[in-house]
Amino acid sequence: MERTRVGIVGLGTIAQTIHLPILTRLQDVEILAVCDMDRAKAEFVAKKYNIRRSYSDYEEMLSREGEIVGLDICTSTNAHRDVAIAALEAGKDLLVEKPLARTQKEAIEIIQAAKRIGRKIMVGMNNRFRPDSMILKSFIEEKELGKVYYAKAGWLRKLEAANPWLTRKEKSGGGVVLDLGIVMFDLAFWMMGYPEVKEVIAANYSHNTKGVEDSSVVFIKMKNGSTITIESSWSFEAEQDFFYCDVFGTDGSGSLNPFRILKKMHGNLVNVAPVSHDTPQALYRKSYENELRHWIGALRDLHPVISTGEEAVHRMKIVDAIYASARTGKSARLQ
């Protein structure tokens, strides 16, 4: 089998701990080149993973590496727009780690370039690819839970010292909303089948950060009457990190972490979820393995992209509304 040739730009934590270890183990993938502004880091990573060439300038990499089919962008968010548009203009399909951009305006510019040139964009939303998420989603699509009308999701995790740029708004675009909140909104919204949003009410807090929020609570109301609540925090004083997504329908409910699917049967609620012995760490790892395999399959035209650039633009519209509501103290209505 001919291997799919890819490149990686940005060699920080997510690239070195997730993307590189997984991609280098895939038999149908060849990483032709890596790039990072830190030349020593790029050379070290290339040597570690036996990758032919390394660069410190992505434009040089794009001009020299014509055989690259797909580019995996793992840079800080402020670089996404420029790197993505340059790669699209060089004829590359993209995987961009979340979020696609700092604002909806930047996201639209990237998508417009992709449409003009005719290239594919996938945005990293790995929680859609968790085995338990995919099973719950299939139950919802088959109407096993009836009409789904409410979802709540949250992610509470202490800020990682390895990524200090996350608290610098000029680099990240925002705080915990763009780090953890957008992931949970995407997961809940995907579970519910993308209902049209009517209004957003949000409260953001900055207890341990300056310039960006470190905690956020969001209520989203849809035009069809369904609702979503999202909480995300780097600073909630909890005993441990916590991730959850609960979905409620007229005939049952589903939850992740712990994984349960409760369905009304003969007047009783029965847990019909398949038995799983995966640890949270194993599910996290599998989510990325499935995501990266899916991207490679999409590069080979085996299937359409899941988590498209167009969906990312919509997510950024909601993010902009979250910040507007938090800033004004009023609900933000969407047109």
Does 116 share its domain with 169?
no
Mean pLDDT of the region 84-108:
97
The answer to whether residue 119 sits within a structural domain is yes
Q: Is residue 286 part of a domain?
A: no
The two structure tokens encoding residue 320? 């902009």
Q: Is residue 284 part of a domain?
A: no
Alpha-carbon distance values, 223 to 6, 123, 183 (Å): 41, 26, 22
Same domain, 248 and 317: yes
Domain of 221: which CATH number?
3.30.360.10
| Residue pointed to by tokens 């995790």 | 157
Domain span at residue 324 reads 127-278+313-333
Tell me if 93 is assigned to some domain: yes
The total number of structural domains that make up the chain: 2
Q: Are 295 and 236 contained in the same domain?
A: no
- The first and second tokens of residue 97, run together, are 């780690």
- Asked whether residue 262 is assigned to any structural domain, the reply reads yes
Judged against a pLDDT cut of 80, whether residue 24 lies above it is answered with: yes
Q: Is residue 8 part of a domain?
A: yes
- Residue 277 pLDDT greater than 90, yes or no: no
Q: Are 195 and 249 within one domain?
A: yes
Q: So what's the pLDDT on residue 319? A: 95
Both 119 and 34 in a single domain? yes
**What pLDDT does 168 receive?**
94
Looking at the structure, do residues 10 and 39 belong to the same domain, yes or no?
Answer: yes
Q: Clarify whether residues 143 and 115 are in a common domain.
A: no
Question: For the chain, what percent of residues have pLDDT higher than 70?
Answer: 100
Angle 71-73-79 (CA atoms, 0-180°, nearest 5)? 130
- Does residue 317 fall inside a structural domain? yes
How far is Cα 321 from Cα 172, in angstroms, rounded to an integer? 17
Q: Which CATH number goes with the domain that contains 62?
A: 3.40.50.720
232 with 298, same domain: the answer is no
The pLDDT value given to residue 159: 87
**Domain co-membership, 170 together with 317:** yes
Helix residue ranges per DSSP H, 5-130: 13-14, 20-23, 39-48, 58-64, 80-89, 104-117
Cα–Cα distance, 296 to 288 (Å, whole number): 12
Contact of 14 with 74, CB cutoff 8 Å: yes
Say if residue 209's pLDDT is above 80: yes
**Is the residue at 83 inside a domain?**
yes
